[in-house]
Amino acid sequence: MISSLGALSLIFHGTGTLKTIEPLISGQRDDSDMPRMSKIPAIGLKTAKVPASIGSTSLPQTWKEAGEISQMIIYPGKSLKGNSVQVAYVDKHGLRSGEMCDRQILVVDANGRFVTGRRYPKMVLISVEVTADLDLELKAEGMKDFHLELKDIQKNTANGNSNVEIWGENCTGLDLGDEASAWITEFIKDDGDKHFRLVWHQNTDQSSRPPNSELMDVEPFKKENDVPLYADGFPYLLVSEESVADLNEKLSDRNVDLKVNALQFRPNLVVKGVPQAFAEDTWTYIKVNDVIFRNAKLCSRCVFTTVCPERGEKHPKREPFETLQTYRRSQDPAEIKAYGQCPFFGINLGVDQVGPIKVGDKILIGAD
């Protein structure tokens, strides 16, 4: 679908899986995890369903430079603090640096259901390190540092794979034991006296998540194997500094006392030097050295965008989510049916060719 936002053409070719977004709209999730939709109408957004104009799904024969990588971030734990890296390896299911892989650790409740910063925003303050010797270290203010040798957990047959759930999808992980459970439970301190556990996706070569079985018309570039370890829906998220700057201008225009950076959106790849804000929306394939990314969909955003990564608190006026809703929503009926009124920011990527990348590498896009 081609959407006009001022003079900029956006390709709205999907923003999440139907399985992911439906519970947010229908109220099947707890209110604290749900993005409440604003009544503000989208500004200047007109959509026309023209799938043929999105572009060819074939790999480009020629490429042109479109910017460069300015930051790379790995989040070893879902909803936990990210680690900036200079060099990384692009695996099929997530960005990797040494033994540290993106969203490889998951916090779950007593029922095995995933727990995120949407409900417990201070989770983003927990730092995670995984050494070359598979030594896991958790740190948080006010807590004693926690260390665990993951090799010992692997050897302990009592710690078998646990069945866990992310957005209604069943997957598995190795339970990290009672001491890890006590540490994370003490930090979160749920008012309802809930207990939490940590699980670890030890095999990163194959995700335990089911393949994408629902391939919709609004997601023409998504593939069945575009699955992460424990990330919400896709293994990679890219945002541009230019799009962040544009959002900050909109926040200022609305007299919102807030200036955000890219980390507000928990991306893996931050790029700079793109021609204009949201130019990344229109990219089909992205080449970095020998690595080939595919723009699987635009990323729909929820109230997690209101969580400050430095303070671990939600913005009292739900910003920048509210501002995004004023100018980054689709009005295409098919997309609204699939994704509700969620605004878009950033692009989710699938991987067609793995390999190493580093900060400063040039971003190439199809020139065909």
Model confidence at 32: pLDDT above 90: no
**CA separation (Å) from 130 to 53, 136, 150, 159, 235?**
44, 5, 9, 19, 19
The structure's pTM equals 0.85
Domain range annotation of the chain: 2-366
Amino acid at 9: S
Q: How far apart are CA 107 and CA 248, in angstroms?
A: 32
The secondary structure element, H or E, covering residue 211 is: none
> What local confidence, expressed as pLDDT, does residue 211 receive?
87
Q: Encoding tokens for residue 136? A: 């896991």
Q: What is the pLDDT of residues 96-107, one digit of tens each?
A: 999 999 999 999
Model confidence at 52: pLDDT above 60: no
126 HSE (CA, 13 A, CB side)? 31
Q: What is the pLDDT of residues 105-152, one digit of tens each?
A: 999 999 999 999 999 999 999 999 999 999 999 999 999 999 999 998
The phi-psi region of residue 148 (left if phi > 0; otherwise alpha if psi is between -120 and 50; otherwise beta) is beta
May I ask the CATH class of domain 2-366?
Answer: mainly beta
The three-state secondary structure class of 339 is helix
The three-state secondary structure class of 247 is helix
